[in-house]
Chains A and B, each alone.
Chain A
Amino acid sequence: EVQLVESGGGLVKPGGSLRLSCAASGFTFSSYSMNWVRQAPGKGLEWVSSISSSSIYSYYADSVKGRFTISRDNAKRSLFLQMNSLRAEDTAVYYCARFYDILTGCLDYWGQGTLVTVSS
């Protein structure tokens, strides 16, 4: 069974940093590109970042470019999101999600999400 479990969320002050993790199981993690998607309270979904299976390629939403860094450790079957210079508008539930396959950019498995709150 495919499982994605996020952790690392919490309360952080504006300007602060946080590192999210996503532990994957039930599939060959090193064969899949991965993503972070967020959802502000009561709002819609926003794609944040993607990383290719071997970490060669990474992509970011303009809203986080230069502040967030996506990375992965295939040996540990883990995905990360380093978030710096956090702002109030980064407050959201952050989901880890898997690409369906190498050619299809839809997201077939999602974690349960971890809440990040940026507030003084």
Chain B
Amino acid sequence: AIRMTQSPSSFSASTGDRVTITCRASQGVSNYLAWYQQKPGKAPKLLIYTASTLQTGVPSRFSGSGSGTDFTLTVSCLQSEDFATYYCQQYYSYPYTFGQGTKLEIK
């Protein structure tokens, strides 16, 4: 199975900050990479797919990049509603796998 490793696992930031989360795959997944946001007690929400395509309705302050094994999710100007846990997911091959998550907390 392809292992997805996110970094950092958690960190604190302030409203207005620019933040970047990294996701690394144990083998190449081309651009078959998605990012999700999850808030406590809620289902995950799709933010980005094919590594850089913004899902409909997702604010443009979110962006994704990367290909192969290294990917990033960037939030250009953090808003209060962005404090949540973020997961990457590869869908290059079964079994589909998620990263362990990155918890973004308010500083």
* A interface residues, Cβ below 8 angstroms from B: 37, 44-47, 50, 59-62, 95, 100, 104-108, 110-113
> Which size class do B's interface residues fall under?
20 to 34
The answer to whether B43 and A105 have CB atoms under 8 Å apart is: no
The answer to whether B98 and A45 have CB atoms under 8 Å apart is: yes
Counted as pairs of residues, one from A and one from B, with CB atoms less than 8 Å apart, the total is 58
The answer to whether B43 and A100 have CB atoms under 8 Å apart is: no
- Give B46-84 as 1s and 0s: 1 = Cβ < 8 Å from A's Cβ atoms: 100110000100000000000000000000000000000
Chain B binding site: helix, strand, loop or mixed by DSSP?
loop
Chain A binding site: helix, strand, loop or mixed by DSSP?
strand
* B interface residues, Cβ below 8 angstroms from A: 1, 32, 34, 36, 38, 42-46, 49-50, 55, 87, 89, 91, 94-101
CB distance from A104 to the nearest CB of B (A): 6
The residue on A at minimum CB distance from B89 is A106
The answer to whether A105 and B96 have CB atoms under 8 Å apart is: yes
With contacts A45-B87, A105-B32 taken as known, whether A111 is within 8 angstroms of B43 at the C-beta atoms is yes
The residue on A at minimum CB distance from B38 is A45
The answer to whether B95 and A62 have CB atoms under 8 Å apart is: yes
The answer to whether B100 and A44 have CB atoms under 8 Å apart is: yes
